[in-house]
Structure 1
């Protein structure tokens, strides 16, 4: 599903103009992005949690040459689905 399809669905289900739905979706996604950039957690009840975690430097190797190297620290976005979402996907109540 694309952002355009989401906006179309919001417009149809919410009985609002398409332009307003586009703006709503854009604002929502921008706020999610800014929240994650600050490394704050996002919890959507019945859906799941988004969280940015830090990974430390670690040892690795170049698979082509076998040369040892250090993989730099980084931030990783994680998503943990809620039990409600997991059950819904698996067809359970």
Structure 2
């Protein structure tokens, strides 16, 4: 791995190269293609579920009033779309 605690695209491509036998270039292209499909689905407003791993969920948050913690002044927070990840039960069990 590139950094203790960080898994990179290159690390995944290397693992695919070792375990499956694809060239590093083909493994890297496959990873890029998968990530592009996930990104395209999220941009289109779809949730993405990867069985046994988890679900990327889009939520629209309405406008609300926030407060500056230093001054206490109320500030409107604009509506926005947020992306959350819910790990599958199997993943949560393995990470414990």
TM-score (norm 1): 0.89
Counterpart in 2 of 1:24?
30
CA distance in 1, matches of 2:41, 2:17: 25
Query: In structure 1, what is the equivalent of residue 70 of structure 2?
Result: 64
Superposition deviation, residue 51 in structure 1? 1.1
The alpha carbon displacement at 1:89 in A equals 1.5
SS of 2:12's equivalent in the other structure is helix
Contact persistence 1:39–1:51 (CA under 8 A): no
C-alpha separation between the residues in 2 aligned to 1:41 and 1:15? 32
d(CA) in 2 for partners of 1:61, 1:86: 34
For the Cα contact (< 8 Å) 1:61–1:67, is it kept in 2?
yes
Once the two structures are TM-superposed, the CA of residue 64 in structure 1 deviates from its matched residue by: 3.1
- The counterpart of 1:54, out of the listed 52, 60, 71, is 60
Unpaired runs of 5+ residues, structure 1, are: none
| Paired position in structure 2 for 1:35 | 41
Question: Quick one: distance in 2 between partners of 1:48 and 1:69?
Answer: 35
